[in-house]
Structure 1
Amino acid sequence: MKNLTAIALFVAAGIATAGSALAQDHKVTATVPFNFTVNGRTLPAGNYTIGNESNTPRILSISDREKGIAVMATTVPDNSVSADNKLVFHHYGNQYFLSEIRTANSSMSCHLTTSKQEKWARAQAQEASVRVNSDVLIALK
């Protein structure tokens, strides 16, 4: 009976450990040299940590500890694999909008939804006959 109890406890501990190992966070860092917009909020240039948790892969957190900035954004996962890790920004005039995260292992690859602010900026750029949607890429660390 003692052996059966010991085995049950061992199995329970193994399952608990496996569950916490699967729920590890995915995080990357990037230095963004310009102000940019995420989810309708403009963020200053800086050193950002970007991540999500495996149990909530559609929610992305973007933060700069030095400046006390933290933003959450809903994303659409993208299972494609990129050759290198990078952030993709849409650029209209002097405005930059975070659009995608591309990673080599696809664990964080995603698209951000287009905000009303970005749609307005795109329309303004088209109306002014400015080149629309020239992507800017920033390498992830």
Structure 2
Amino acid sequence: MPAVGRAVLHALDLALDDITKWTAGLSDTEVHTKPLGLPSVAFHMRHIARSVDRILTYAEGNQLTPEQFAQLKSEQGSDESETLAALIAEVEVSFANAADRIRTLATADFNTFRGVGRKQLPTSIGGALIHVADHTQRHVGQVVTTAKVLKALQ
């Protein structure tokens, strides 16, 4: 597999490690808390899991399905019945499902045009793959920061 594919998969592995490490010790209630007005850990975890799927959908040359749109709209929701374990499991399943897609995309011509969204904003297969890693890591950073704030407030 080309280096870009390995790098994206490695970024997802690191993301899961950081999520697991930094959320350890948080209660199910705390992951839904918005300390100091920050978005909740639960939001970021849902967003990480679901955005990987959406970005890869665009990388594959497809548009989002009605189910993906519904999931996007529900990310900000406050389903406080979700446990930390369920949120981590959603990320794990998302990353596992993404792995084969990333391996396949990593063998394609990275310069192949891909349009994102209704406006068909321009990117490429390579750009979308890099965005999976970058976007995921940015939100993992928010999970870490929010988890640290929550732990400081305990």
Q: TM-score range by the shorter chain?
A: under 0.3
- Is the radius of gyration larger for structure 1 or structure 2? 1
Q: Structure 2-normalised TM-score?
A: 0.23
Q: Structure 1-normalised TM-score?
A: 0.24
1 or 2, which has the higher strand percentage? 1
